Structure 1
Amino acid sequence: MADSVDPRRVRTRAALVAAAQTLLVQDRTNVSVLEITRLAGVGLGSYYNHFDSKESLFASAIDNVLEMHGLLMDRVTEAIDDPAEVFARAFRLTGRFHRLIPSASQVLLRRGLELITAPHGLAPRAMRDIENAVAAGRFSVTDPELAYVATAGASLALGQLLHAQPDRDAADAADQLAADLLRMFGIPEDEAEEICARPLPDLDELMAVALADSGQMS
């Protein structure tokens, strides 16, 4: 029989990851392990039961956000056959993500450029969706990697704009920008607008499931 998971270890690790995410948002990664454990509310000895360095902790903190983001995108696009709509749904979700979980969004934005080529989260999924849309004849792009760079840059810039302009409607902004990207990739204007006006699943419900699956902070 498999060993049961110790809930205390799970809580301790989650507290350390959450503390690291807070420090990432504040751009305060040059801190002592003691300060991290105090922020997490755990003992100094507990830290080394989970991480062997600050670098490994901060890497886990970023991976945690990326995995939660990826889970959300997977759920919001499941059962969609059209790769152009899959791409648009994922982008529309990402725009809403910046408001739904602002602290996690700030972690992504703080490490934005280096995350463009990360193996988790937006990068592999967006690249896959673009390549699928090209293969299906839905996107007319000559270089899928450059199309991905445009997508990633638009997503990060949108997040920064939404944090700077808290009164801006995040859903409307995400949908408009998604439609612009679809048009840029070869989808006719009327169809791009229609795709980005389609209803999305209940994002609060999806987020609750993704948070539980990833152990992510709220």
Structure 2
Amino acid sequence: MDATHRDAEDASDVPVSRLARRKMRTRAALIGAAQTLIAQGRLNVPILEITQAADVGMGSFYNHFDSREQLYEAAVTDALDSYGALLDSVTASITDPAEAFATSFRLTGRLFRERPQESALLLANWNALMLSDRGLSPRALRDITAAIDDGRFRLADPELALVLAGGALFGLGTLLRERPERDDAAAVDEVAQNLLRVFGVTPARARALCEKPLPEMSSLKQSFADGVGDGSAQ
């Protein structure tokens, strides 16, 4: 290819790149606005109000999302990406993948009471989030697979284990929402312990893993709040 043709192709790429960047900014603005509304507990606002908060045109909304619900799902997923990255850092020093899985499950289960507005969105969209390639699911699948490979979990199918864990987590969230008198930490740790036993961990080891002290929750709670509240999970 000669220099003239290369220059022509390079020039034709410029408008496309600018358009792509503009679309990314618009999507980020919409998600940031949705995250702020979610954190405020305003889940049923009109789409027009969302676009005004994002400072984008009404037509731009439908270039990215088919509905308010789809936008909110994306907003929660982005926040979960941020939260998941922090979980990764918290569990990075844990060499036992079964312990890493249990720690992440126990920390996440405690967020149902700590962040009720965002948790309502998680529960409403759990079927879409269960096998998502973003957020918490791929991280849980990674830990489950590693635990199987290391002989910590005695399972043949990591995805089935992921579905069991996800169903337990979202069922637990529903229970904690409907039964506010329950001790959330005790309930979360009991479910985690039973999951570990289903996955092949001995009762004594499962109990020991779920009695380990957890990392400080404040930074995790704040990370999830920040991710949902200001769009920082973009």
The question of 1:123 aligning with 2:127 is answered no
Partners of 1:76 and 1:93 within 8 A in 2: no
Partners of 1:112 and 1:156 within 8 A in 2: yes
Match of 2:63 in 1: 52
- The TM-score, its normalising length taken from structure 1, stands at 0.79
Question: How far apart, CA to CA, are the structure 1 residues paired with 2:83 and 2:197?
Answer: 25
Alignment equivalent of 1:81, drawn from 95, 99, 106: 95
Unaligned residue ranges in structure 1 (runs of 5+): 1-8
Match of 1:217 in 2: 229
Identity among equivalent positions (%) equals: 38
Match of 1:167 in 2: 181
State the 1:120 CA deviation: 1.3
SS state at 1:16 partner: helix
Structure 2: which amino acid aligns with 1:106?
A
Question: How far apart, CA to CA, are the structure 1 residues paired with 2:147 and 2:173?
Answer: 25
Alignment equivalent of 2:34, drawn from 17, 31, 43: 17
Alignment of 1:105-116 (within 5 A): 105-116=119-130
Deviations along 1:1-35, one digit per CA (max 9) or x if unpaired, are xxxxxxxx9x9656522356379985x4xx74324
Alignment equivalent of 1:200, drawn from 203, 211, 214: 214
Match of 1:99 in 2: 113
Partners of 2:153 and 2:201 within 8 A in 1: yes
Alignment equivalent of 2:84, drawn from 70, 81, 95: 70
Unaligned residue ranges in structure 2 (runs of 5+): 1-25
Question: How far apart, CA to CA, are the structure 2 residues paired with 1:23 and 1:53?
Answer: 23
Partners of 1:99 and 1:170 within 8 A in 2: yes
CA 194–130 in structure 1, closer or farther in 2 if over 3 Å, else same: same
Question: How far apart, CA to CA, are the structure 2 residues paired with 1:51 and 1:203?
Answer: 38
Alignment equivalent of 2:148, drawn from 123, 126, 134: 134
May I ask how many residue pairs the two structures share in their alignment? 202
CA 164–19 in structure 1, closer or farther in 2 if over 3 Å, else same: same
Question: How far apart, CA to CA, are the structure 2 residues paired with 1:25 and 1:32?
Answer: 10
RMSD: 3.1
Which has the greater radius of gyration? 2
SS state at 2:172 partner: helix
Deviations along 1:115-173, one digit per CA (max 9) or x if unpaired, are 11111122101111110001101110121111111001000100111111112111111
Question: How far apart, CA to CA, are the structure 2 residues paired with 1:24 and 1:119?
Answer: 26
* Greater mean deviation of Cα atoms: 15-24 or 102-111: 15-24
CA 108–96 in structure 1, closer or farther in 2 if over 3 Å, else same: same
Partners of 1:68 and 1:210 within 8 A in 2: yes
Partners of 2:78 and 2:135 within 8 A in 1: no
Partners of 1:158 and 1:174 within 8 A in 2: yes
Deviations along 1:22-81, one digit per CA (max 9) or x if unpaired, are 79985x4xx74324346x4x6564994x88344373353132232233134223322100
Structure 2: which amino acid aligns with 1:91?
F
Partners of 1:68 and 1:216 within 8 A in 2: no
CA 101–32 in structure 1, closer or farther in 2 if over 3 Å, else same: closer
Kindly indicate whether structure 1 or structure 2 has the higher relative contact order, using CA contacts under 8 Å at least 6 residues apart: 2
Partners of 2:101 and 2:143 within 8 A in 1: yes
Question: How far apart, CA to CA, are the structure 2 residues paired with 1:97 and 1:72?
Answer: 14
